[in-house]
Amino acid sequence: MTIDMKPDVKIDANYYKVLQIRKLTEHTFILSLPGSRFKFVAGQHISLSIQGDYQSREYSIYSAEEGQNLEILVKEVDGGYFSPKLKHLKVGDMVEVHGPFGKFGLDEKHADTHKHVFIASGTGIAPFHSIVKSRPGLDYHLIHGVKLGEEAYERNEYDAERYTLCTSRDGSGDFEGRLTAYLKTQEFGKNTSFYLCGNSDMIFDSMEILREKGFNRENINVEVYF
């Protein structure tokens, strides 16, 4: 598929020019591209590659379904190959996008009847940002586990009463300690849907905690980052 730019110029629809690199911390940033040329459901992910590079990586979509720009949240991996290259892109550079992929997202059959509890570690917050921005008025509680308070990525984007920051290495969060420790202290109503996204250790530990609280796999949606 191609897109006509001028009568004699065509651009592959999978290629996007970088509009902005929005720095959040020393190692975390938002890559902002023009609005997506495809329809996606909040929670899905894309495959991203840099023009001229043979490797690609998958990233959850950070922006809203009808957002002006297509955005992803990236944390630079120390010693990694791909994320440092993304960090050093410049406005106007080209990237290749394929997708959307995946079935992770809001439980539509319970969208209006349940409380939606989003449980994220680190950049695992990305699909939840997309869901919250796509569904104004959603009854949700976002529990975000990070090491340091500075990693509360754009927390002002969420309703302050619906966002809980858990910090394991400083006392700047709403809860000092691991996300799973906070989860153990909470009680949830029967009509609750859970969504877990982040590292596998957090997900497996959280699933066990929720199981002990009486919730089974039917109540839990999972997206494992690593």
Any domain includes 77: yes
Nearest CA-CA partner of 151 in 45, 20, 27: 27
Predicted confidence band at 226 (pLDDT cuts at 50, 70, 90)? low
> What mean pLDDT do residues 52-73 have?
96
Task: Tell which wins on pLDDT, 11 or 187.
Answer: 187
Q: Please list the residues that pair with 69 across neighbouring strands.
A: 34
What is residue 10's predicted lDDT score, i.e. its pLDDT?
45
**Residue 215: CA atoms inside 13 Å, Cβ hemisphere, count?**
20
Strand order in the sheet with 28-34: 20-23, 28-34, 69-75
Predicted confidence band at 1 (pLDDT cuts at 50, 70, 90)? very low
Any domain includes 2: no
Return d(Cα 152, Cα 156) in angstroms, integer.
Answer: 9
Predicted confidence band at 11 (pLDDT cuts at 50, 70, 90)? low
Predicted confidence band at 3 (pLDDT cuts at 50, 70, 90)? very low
Count Cβ atoms below 10 Å from residue 3 Cβ, excluding itself.
12
Distances in whole angstroms, Cα of residue 4 to Cα of each of 7, 50, 108, 111: 7, 22, 36, 39
> What mean pLDDT do residues 50-61 have?
95
Give the distance from CA 22 to its chain's centroid: 15
167, 149: one domain: yes
* DSSP secondary structure string for all residues of 6-68: ETTEEEETTEEE--EEEESSSSEEEEEEEPPSS---TT-EEEEEETT-S-EEEEEB-S-TT-S
Q: Which two tokens stand for residue 42?
A: 């909040």
200, 147: one domain: yes
- Which of 51, 79, 101 finishes a domain? 101
pTM for this prediction: 0.93
- Which of 101, 128, 155 finishes a domain? 101
| Overall number of domains in the chain | 2
pLDDT tens per residue across span 104-161: 999 999 999 999 999 999 999 999 999 999 999 999 999 999 999 999 999 999 999 9
209: helix, coil or strand?
helix
Which CATH number fits the domain that encloses residue 112? Answer: 3.40.50.80
Q: Please list the residues that pair with 116 across neighbouring strands.
A: 140, 193
pLDDT tens per residue across span 67-84: 999 999 999 999 999 999
Which CATH number fits the domain that encloses residue 90? Answer: 2.40.30.10
Burial class (CB in 10 A: 0-12, 13-18, 19+), 212: exposed
Give the residue numbers spanning the domain of 67. Answer: 9-101
Return d(Cα 203, Cα 96) in angstroms, integer.
Answer: 30
Return d(Cα 204, Cα 200) in angstroms, integer.
Answer: 6
